[in-house]
Structure 1
Amino acid sequence: MHPDIHLALHHSRAAELRDEARVPLVRARKDALRARLGWTLIEVGLKLATQPRPLPAH
C-alpha cells in the first residue's frame, strides 16, 4: 500500500474514533441531567403528597 494512502486512511479512522469518543460524553451529561431532574421531581411530588391537609368539619 502506498504510504500516502495509508496515512490518509489512518487520519480518516482517527477522526471517526474521535467522533465516536465524544458521543458517550454528551450522552453521559444528558443522562446525569435527566437523573437529577427525575429525582428532583420525585422529591417535590413527595413533599406535595405529605403536606398536612386540613381536617374536614363534621
Structure 2
Amino acid sequence: MHPDIHLTLHHARAAELRAEADVRPAARNRHALRSRLGWTLVEVGLRLATRPGTAAVAH
C-alpha cells in the first residue's frame, strides 16, 4: 500500500474514533454501572447461599 494512502486512512480512522469517544461516554458509564450491579447481585446471592450454619461439616 502506498504510504500516503496509509496515512490518509489512519487520519480518517483516528477522526472516527475521536468522534465516537465524544459521543459515547454515557454508554461506558452504563456498562460500568451494569457490571457493578451484576457483581453485587452475585455477592449477595453467594452470601445467601452460604449462610452461617448451612455449610457442611466434615468429620
Structure 2 residue ranges without an equivalent (≥5): 1-14
User: 1:34 aligns to what?
Assistant: 35
Structure 1 letter corresponding to 2:45: V
- What is the percentage of aligned positions where both structures have the same residue? 8
User: 1:9 aligns to what?
Assistant: none
Aligned residues: 40
TM-score by length of 2: 0.51
TM-score by length of 1: 0.52
Distance of 1:28 and 1:42 partners within structure 2: 21
What RMSD, in angstroms, separates the aligned Cα atoms of the two structures? 2.8
Structure 1 residue ranges without an equivalent (≥5): 1-11
Larger Rg: 1 or 2? Answer: 1
